[in-house]
Amino acid sequence: MQDTIIKKVLIANRGEIVCRILRSLRNMGISGVVVYHPIDADSPAVQMADETVEIDGDTPVAAYLSVENIISACQKTGADAVHPGFGFLAENAEFAKRLAEEEILFIGPSPESIELMGDKIKARSFCLSNGFPLAPAISGDEGEESFLDQARQIGVPLLIKAAAGGGGKGMHIVREIEDLEQAIGIARGEALRFFGNDAVYAERYVEQPRHIEVQVLGDNYGKVIHLGERECSIQRRFQKIIEETPAPGLSNELRENICATAVEIAEKTGYQNAGTVEFLLAPNDEFYFLEMNTRIQVEHPVTEMVTGIDIVEMQIRIAQGEAINFSQTDVCSKGHAIELRLYAEDSENDFLPATGTLLVYDMPGGEGVRVDNGFREGMTITSAFDPMLAKLIVYAQDRPKAIERAIKALDHTIVLGVSTNIDYLKRLLSHSAYQAGLVNTGFIPQYANDLASPSLSDKQINLLLAAAALSNRDFSDPAFKLPEIHASIGNWRN
């Protein structure tokens, strides 16, 4: 492949990942174009961009899912490449094909790789035919009745999953077979809303597994390397909220085996660009292919922190046709990194998304602390998008020090005007089982009572009530305002 020099990149996304990509583009001397729905007009991403293009749709999400919006913005600005970030069109093979037809470079894998590995059903079939470890699964390709019949043969518990996406969208556990049909319907609706594709499949649900993923890079010349594994087991509603690397408690042999399997899967597909191969790790140390994400991951910063490799820059260089200029033995992981996803949500009410205006929005800083952020003070958090506000990433020489630094970073994170999971994350990090590395995907429900917000004392309740009363003008003005006859005297003293 002949090298292509990218001059202008349009980022087909929103929020913190756009700011993240812009930083790498700026370091490389490449111009960055940002598309935005009016709801995001005042966002940091729009303010950082070299050029901006307003887009619209039936809904804010639809605006970012419109292929025509992105193509039109590229033509308007002369962008010669598109970075999709994650979510939206990032794993849409038809989008990648359309860009190729318009002679616009897609910063990601080939449409063929996305079709194969970005579609969870096709990816599983591929891995099965090539002897990679898989948990039993079924697809809905042959109709609902066949789906139900095969499900009965596998047995419960089953996990229903969207074929064309990730991030916990369209995922449901079925523990009673009579609930399967309803779960399929709900999953299809969610998959269509978030990914534009209602295909789903089901796999045997492994109880108390760990979620381990491996970051891989492949160039256009057949070279594939990995950048180590990440522990992603701390999840609520099938969505990760804490990720770290290296994964605690893995033997060197198991770690090497998982990473080698990830590289073999990527090599077998002829994978190009950055991708993540995800596995379920059972309590008996058996591991199964889960899926491959053919895009940058939300949690990629922890890998960057321990390896010193800019993964977004590597994506751009590979897309230009450059070879990976280092070997597997050159990849050196040092220290420990933890990422905390800061969400606008009510952790005490089943993590329901929260809305409101960011009255105070103050992120931490300092040694070993990185913040990937997509919001600023004064912005309104709506229900239109995923409620993630920012990612706090910390680095230290070992895991205990990284946990300590993460808690301190949360202590210096101030968000007022909308409910967040800041205190919940602190309770997670402080839990003895987490600190001991005893994690699995059922950690949050397992320790739900320990992680619940502690009850307020009578003194705390009284102080809060007093503060609320004093902030209410209807209460404070009559109580403290001077009567007019005295106020008119002014500052007179006897």
98 is catalytic: no
Q: How far apart are CA 163 and CA 116, in angstroms?
A: 11
Q: How far apart are CA 197 and CA 378, in angstroms?
A: 35
Place of tokens 């066949």: 146
Provide the token pair at 12.
């087909």
Provide the token pair at 102.
């318009």
Strand positions, DSSP E, 193-238 = 200-204, 210-218, 224-236
Peptide bond into 246 cis (omega under 30): yes
Q: What is the 3-state secondary structure (H, E, C) of 273-307?
A: EEEEEEEEECCCCCEEEEEEECCCCCCHHHHHHHH
Question: Which of 295, 341, 370, 405 is the catalytic position?
Answer: 295
Provide the token pair at 103.
């002679």
Tell me if residue 147 falls in helix, strand or coil: helix
Residues 6+ apart with CB under 8 A from 366: 409
**Which DSSP symbol is given to 336?**
E
Q: How far apart are CA 166 and CA 118, in angstroms?
A: 9
Strand positions, DSSP E, 16-108 = 31-36, 51-54, 81-83, 105-106
Tell me which residues are annotated as active site.
295
